[in-house]
Amino acid sequence: MASSDRGTSTLQGWHALQTLWRGDQRSVIQGLPHSQLAPAWQLLLLGDGSPTRHLQLLTGEPTAVDVIEMAPIADQDDGAPPPIRAIAGPRLRRQVWLRTASGQRLAYATSWWTQQRVDAYLRDRAQPIWANLADLRTELYRDIQGVEYGDSAALSEAFGQTGPFWGRYYLFWHQGQPLTLIYEVFSPAIATYLGPSTPQPVV
């Protein structure tokens, strides 16, 4: 559920991390100490590439999307990160699992859209956002606003992995206008492909 430090919205139902640490845009631009987050994980979390494309390249399998929800939330901030204010209301919230074609869940994502614009960009709602926008040849700027490290009982159960987890949130810009706010959390199972997210102590 949305964590209590994100605002006073009465809406519930998406999985925000209970943050142990949060970094702002300065942390994103500068990068984190390698003792805090391994370089390969920084490429995934702090880089401006498509996570669905990255996951496909890492696993060698197509990245599939399981849509959990697409729900109108009116003008509520929904307990979302502060950049939600850049997305005009009324808004629609979309929640998905990102997984391999064989079924391994690797990430969770929530996105918020202006309700009147979502159909123009998500023509196939069962496909990843990246695939929809690529089909439209949409030029985008991924503006990463923050990175988080924290726990979530719901995500622990869904991933079959114990936390804490790494996550991030960012705005997509198109033609000078904010298109959507996206919040992503990655499963520790990605360590199979990237190695540990934090360096292991020397014994």
Q: Check if the beta carbon of residue 20 is closer than 8 Å to that of residue 149.
A: yes
In a domain, 84, yes or no: yes
Rounded Cα–Cα distance for residues 199 and 203 (Å)? 12
Q: Check if the beta carbon of residue 1 is closer than 8 Å to that of residue 154.
A: yes
In a domain, 199, yes or no: no
In a domain, 198, yes or no: no
| Rama region for 119: left / alpha / beta (φ>0; ψ in -120 to 50; rest) | alpha
With vertex at residue 187, the alpha carbon angle to CA 186 and CA 190, rounded to the nearest 5 degrees, is 95
Task: Quickly state the pLDDT bin for 2 (edges 50, 70, 90).
Answer: very low
Judge if the upstream peptide bond of residue 82 is cis by omega within 30 degrees of 0: no
Query: What digits encode the pLDDT tens for the residues 96-155?
Result: 999 999 999 999 999 999 887 776 666 555 555 655 555 545 556 788 999 999 999 999
In a domain, 197, yes or no: no
Enclosing H/E stretch for 158: helix 153-159
Query: What digits encode the pLDDT tens for the residues 141-200?
Result: 788 999 999 999 999 999 999 999 999 999 988 778 888 999 999 999 999 999 999 865
Range of the domain at 92: 17-190
In a domain, 10, yes or no: no
Q: Check if the beta carbon of residue 187 is closer than 8 Å to that of residue 105.
A: yes
Rounded Cα–Cα distance for residues 168 and 109 (Å)? 10
In a domain, 167, yes or no: yes
In a domain, 50, yes or no: yes
The enclosing domain of 163 has a CATH number of: 3.40.1410.10
In a domain, 3, yes or no: no
Number of structural domains, the chain? 1
Enclosing H/E stretch for 57: helix 51-59
